[in-house]
Amino acid sequence: GGYTSSAFRPPVSFTLPDGWLIAGNAPDYLSLQPAASDAIGIHLFRSPRAASQDAECPIAPAPNVGPTAAELVEWIEARPGLVVSDPVPVTVGGLAGLGIDVGIVAGWTASCPFADGIPTVPLFVGAGDSSFRWVVAGSERLRLAVLDVPGQGTVVVDIDAFDGALMDDLLADATPIVASMTFGLP
């Protein structure tokens, strides 16, 4: 059915099919996932910052990375350890930006201390007092739409399969949900 986030800013409306639920709803993070799996889903981030690449993987931003969609995508493309598709222009819910596919490079061995040796690359942390941290790990695959909110930061829409082998089926299910999204004024 049709839903509007009760907390995420800017407000976002969307349609979820049967079997999907709202797993997280905060001003800077919204999570939509199938009820049967927390290994796949759609995650929205409000004005995420590029994550520090320090070996300890702190919840801290990387220095000197701008906040626009183009700046974040350029930074992601330059991360050692990531394979990133060429950016393409995208529009989601009235917001424009860039779309990329992201995964871990074969043979990457660096790992965050909390990842039990699984190869990882820190990606995003929350802005301000937020404490979210998002890393790319193992076989995970992401399709990111990094969108500019005119004059007010960004929104990232992440179609995410922690088990990369599930990505093709997830894209078939998640793409109509993302296409249904409409963002309100922040």
Q: Has residue 131 got a pLDDT over 80?
A: no
Residue 131 has which token pair? 């404490």
Q: Which of 19, 24, 54, 59 is nearest to 42 (CA)?
A: 24
Contact 102, 144 (CB under 8 A): yes
- If DSSP codes are grouped into helix, strand and coil, which group holds residue 54? coil
3-state secondary structure 99-118: EEEEEECCCCCCCCHHHCCC
Q: Has residue 186 got a pLDDT over 80?
A: no
The span from the CA of 98 to the CA of 87, in Å, is 6
The span from the CA of 30 to the CA of 150, in Å, is 20
Encode pLDDT of 70-120 as tens digits.
999 999 999 999 999 999 999 999 999 999 999 999 999 999 999 999 999
- If DSSP codes are grouped into helix, strand and coil, which group holds residue 55? coil
Element (H, E) at 49: strand 49-50
pTM: 0.96
100 Cβ contact list (under 8 Å, min separation 6): 73, 76, 77, 84, 85, 86, 87, 88, 143, 144, 146
Residue 107 has which token pair? 């043979």
Task: Give residue 6's pLDDT.
Answer: 79
Task: Give residue 130's pLDDT.
Answer: 63
Encode pLDDT of 34-58 as tens digits.
999 989 999 999 999 999 999 999 9
Task: Give residue 127's pLDDT.
Answer: 78
DSSP-assigned letters across all residues of 7-36:
S-SS-EEEE--TTEEEEEEETTEEEEEETT
129 Cβ contact list (under 8 Å, min separation 6): none
Residue 111 has which token pair? 């790992």
Task: Give residue 50's pLDDT.
Answer: 96
Q: What is the chain's mean pLDDT, rounded?
A: 95
Q: Has residue 30 got a pLDDT over 70?
A: yes
Task: Give residue 185's pLDDT.
Answer: 73
36 Cβ contact list (under 8 Å, min separation 6): 19
Q: At which residue do the structure tokens 């907390």 appear?
A: 7
Q: Has residue 129 got a pLDDT over 70?
A: no
Q: Has residue 178 got a pLDDT over 80?
A: yes
DSSP state, residue 48: P
